[in-house]
Amino acid sequence: MHQITPEFKLIADWILPNTRVLDLGCGDGLLLEHLINTHDITAYGMEIDPQKNILAMQKGLNVIQSDLNSHDICDYFDDGSFDYVIMTQALQVVGRPDILLDDMLAVGKQIIITFPNFGYWKMRLQLLLRGKMPETDTLPYHWYDTPNIHLCTFNDFEALCEAKGIEVVERAVVNAQHKSSLGMRLMPNLLGEVALYKVQKKSL
């Protein structure tokens, strides 16, 4: 049994049992496998990487090879066909995160999303003091080879939600080791390294 990260544990806490879950960029399917075992969910995963697809398939998961940038979620799934659409650590790598959010909100009643916080104090400090793009445990890339093309801060994400009429239902922050602290809860945008959000369309 693989180690379930605190990030995944937090996500599992936000999920009701016996629900339908879609995991975008599901990787090797570790989260879905965990949710199936603990919450008895019906699960589908989508992932572009062939090797990760194979690993997910070996876990007995329903995994559909897909490029999130092709926005084919709505081609495959009808509106509202999932209770939850999850995307961990992938929002920042897609071409149009705003459109992907729309796709997710179309097929899922609630969406759970995690991403690295570019407003984390170490990021700010590296840029301020060194005048260079930050490199941290959470974002260990150079500016030129990073897959993270749309980095944002908590404030940026919440501003996008506000503009799109998206309601934040739950919010949590953790550090690179996926642990939480009082400071992170008090000043998430400064002290949180990884953001976890559960959001849904604002009811009219």
Residues that bind other proteins (CB under 8 A): 42, 44, 50-51, 53-55, 57-58, 60-66, 72, 75-78
Residue 14 CB, shortest distance to other proteins, in Å, is 23
Burial of 112 (0-12, 13-18, 19+ CB in 10 A): buried
In 3D space, the residue among 4, 10, 6 whose CA is nearest the CA of residue 171 turns out to be 10
Nearer to other proteins among residue 42 and residue 136 (C-beta): 42
Q: What values do phi and psi take at 47, rounded to 5?
A: -160, 140
Minimal distance, residue 61 CB to other proteins, in Å: 8
* Bridge partner residues of 82 (DSSP): 108
Of the candidates 132, 27, 30, which has an alpha carbon nearest to the alpha carbon of residue 11?
Answer: 30
Whichever of 77 and 157 has its CB closer to other proteins, that residue is 77
> Quick one: how far is CA 90 from the chain centroid?
6
Q: How far is the CB of 78 from other proteins (least distance, A)?
A: 7
- Give least dist CB 44 to other proteins, A: 7
Is the Cβ–Cβ distance between 20 and 83 less than 8 Å? yes
Q: Choose between 53 and 117: whose C-beta lies nearer to other proteins.
A: 53
57 versus 133: smaller Cβ distance to other proteins? 57
Angle at 99 between CA 97 and CA 105, to 5 degrees: 100
Q: Minimum distance from CB of 19 to other proteins (Å)?
A: 13
Q: CB of 147: closest distance to other proteins in angstroms?
A: 19
Q: Nearer to other proteins by C-beta: 65 or 92?
A: 65
Which DSSP string corresponds to 53-122?
HHHHHHTT--EEE--GGG--HHHHS-TT-EEEEEEES-GGGSS-HHHHHHHHHHHEEEEEEEEEBTTSHH
Cβ closer to other proteins: 22 or 194? 22
